Amino acid sequence: MDRLIVFDTTLRDGEQAAGASLNAHEKLEIAQQLDKLGVDVIEAGFPASSPGDFEAARLIAQEVKHPTICALASADIGSVDAAWEAVKEARQPRIHVFLSASDIHLSYQLRKSREEALKLSREMVARAKNYVDDVEFSPMDASRADLGYICQILEAVIDAGASTVNIPDTVGYAMPEEFGDLIQGIMANVPNIAKAVISVHCHNDLGLAVANSLEAIRRGARQVECTINGIGERAGNASLEEIVMALKTRHDFFDLSTNIDATQIYRTSRLVSELTGFSIQPNKAIIGANAFRHQSGIHQDGILKKAITYEIIDPRLIGIPSSTLVLSKLSGRHAFKERLAELGYSLSEEALNLTFRSFKELADKKREITDRDIESLVAEELRTVTEVYHLDHVEVSCGDHSLPTATVRLIQPDGRSLADAALGTGPVDAVCKAINRIVGIPSKLTEFTVKSVTEGIDSIGEVLIRIESDGVTYTGRGAATDIIVASAKAYMNALNRLLAAKGGRSGTKG
């Protein structure tokens, strides 16, 4: 049976999504989960683009051992060399060279002739081949390029050492049938194509990234480039979970396997959503909140009689437990640990103890604890960064006829407590101003988002905050049944990231 290579670019193209910002350790955490998921290739970043991207790719290459670790490089010497330096410690390193191939890009962006681009592509692939055996090449904007020219480039780069040739639908322009024809045209007209794996990388500008990818796979592509939750530049990339589950669910049609452990899909999706700050739309295929919820009476009747009537995927296949263990303030540590295991979490003893303590505190406020509540508690623990300041106390006074006032107390690592108070236009503004008076680091709040974890008036509120300092964005998240407390946690989380990046320096008077 044929096998499809799954190439995950969440950490490279996925992070290009506007508003996404991951530090090196968050990228490593996602890469380690992608390893558990079973992806074959992790594109760890574009090392030449920034010191942060270089460091993240280098860290992943050192720490993640099973997948191939790939670094992206533009077709220039410095970029190829940086890619090698970043991934040279990987057990299986890959360098992925790209250069535009469409006349639109060559004329208006690169200002190069076809001959110049061809020569540069061949030379940079040869340079990458001097470093690694595994070289991939992408003729960018291939779906709008001349087929004859694409075939000419592919033949040249394969001769120069490329073992994978990736066909990108860079701007999501292609229709499934014509993209499939492009793959078949390449297979028929590139004399040495048998020496390379054909890959595809589709964008979702017209909502066709998964459809185009699946059609290319049907026509002979054997590597697919995709991202968790479909995140990426503009409208995003082909969604890994949708492609994998399409192949698994319709094995009769595709007759293809992957190395993906589908039971890790839901856990991976939630982690990426949590760390990027991008919520998953409820009707998102496979992993959306409504993907396995049925409201129509006819549908509910069918599901109760036989799930297959309206569910083509067993939710347990992707890591969503179908049974429900109701947890409350009477539940013990063992039941809580078992539920975490069912949800795909394996915590250290210290993390388990802290999370269980938070669970008990929440259980005193809520009658029943849902899976989403538990996921939020775990995320709260896992996202903890090295704290320069710990939020110890928040007190707010507000109302429609009073000035919003907040009192905040923070604890430093040496145990000293610092407190201050401030007025604001609202309670959250007052809290942030009080914290700022203590911390003394100038920053600009650029995003403030609140959402409930579950339905109901007693739901946990999750807050996402982004702040900007010296042109760099820092993301903070917090959760609590009190939105003001959740906001304070999120703001402190962002500030602690900022302070950690600046070496712990603050402007406080101590």
Asked if residue 299 is part of any domain, the answer here is: no
Let me know whether 75 and 125 are in one domain: yes
Question: How far does CA 323 lie from the centroid of its chain?
Answer: 28
State which residues of the chain have pLDDT below 70: 1, 294-297, 300, 303-304, 321-327, 342, 344, 367-368, 380-386, 454-456, 458, 504-510
Let me know whether 262 and 376 are in one domain: no
End-of-domain residue from the set 245, 276, 307: 276
CA dihedral 165, 167, 171, 177 (to 10 degrees): -170
Asked if residue 303 is part of any domain, the answer here is: no
Domain count, the chain: 3
Amino acid at 274: E
Asked if residue 115 is part of any domain, the answer here is: yes
**By residue range, what is the domain housing residue 470?**
390-501
Asked if residue 350 is part of any domain, the answer here is: yes
- What pLDDT is attached to residue 79? 98
For 364-385, the pLDDT digits (tens) are: 777 667 777 787 777 766 655 5
Let me know whether 15 and 101 are in one domain: yes
Q: How far apart are CA 302 and CA 300, in angstroms?
A: 5
CA dihedral 284, 285, 287, 293 (to 10 degrees): 90
Let me know whether 258 and 344 are in one domain: no
Let me know whether 400 and 439 are in one domain: yes
Q: How far apart are CA 121 and CA 156, in angstroms?
A: 8
Asked if residue 291 is part of any domain, the answer here is: no
Let me know whether 262 and 371 are in one domain: no
Collapsing DSSP to helix, strand or coil, 454 comes out as coil
Collapsing DSSP to helix, strand or coil, 15 comes out as helix
- What pLDDT is attached to residue 381? 67
Let me know whether 332 and 455 are in one domain: no
- What pLDDT is attached to residue 105? 96
Q: How far apart are CA 487 and CA 206, in angstroms?
A: 36
Unique residue bearing structure tokens 């990388």: 201
Q: How far apart are CA 252 and CA 500, in angstroms?
A: 52
- What pLDDT is attached to residue 323? 47
Let me know whether 97 and 200 are in one domain: yes
71 and 95 in contact (C-beta within 8 Å)?
A: yes
Unique residue bearing structure tokens 């380690």: 32
End-of-domain residue from the set 241, 276, 311: 276
Let me know whether 80 and 130 are in one domain: yes
Let me know whether 43 and 140 are in one domain: yes
- What pLDDT is attached to residue 19? 79
Asked if residue 506 is part of any domain, the answer here is: no
- What pLDDT is attached to residue 134? 98
395: domain CATH number is 3.30.160.270
Let me know whether 397 and 364 are in one domain: no
Instruction: Measure the N-to-C terminal CA separation of the chain; round to a whole number of Å.
Output: 66
Q: How far apart are CA 401 and CA 248, in angstroms?
A: 60
Going by C-alpha positions, the residue among 185, 119, 95, 108 that lies closest to residue 141 is: 108
121 and 157 in contact (C-beta within 8 Å)?
A: yes
CA atoms within 13 A on the CB side of 270: 25
End-of-domain residue from the set 334, 363, 382: 382
Asked if residue 66 is part of any domain, the answer here is: yes
Asked if residue 211 is part of any domain, the answer here is: yes
Unique residue bearing structure tokens 């009658």: 367
Give me the DSSP letters along 360-375.
HHHHTT-SSB-HHHHH
172: domain CATH number is 3.20.20.70
Let me know whether 153 and 233 are in one domain: yes
Q: How far apart are CA 426 and CA 406, in angstroms?
A: 9
Amino acid at 443: S
CA dihedral 478, 480, 483, 489 (to 10 degrees): -30
Per the structure block, which two tokens stand in for 405?
A: 């006032």
Going by C-alpha positions, the residue among 264, 345, 358 that lies closest to residue 35 is: 264
* Class of residue 402 by CB neighbours under 10 A (exposed 0-12, middle 13-18, buried 19+): exposed
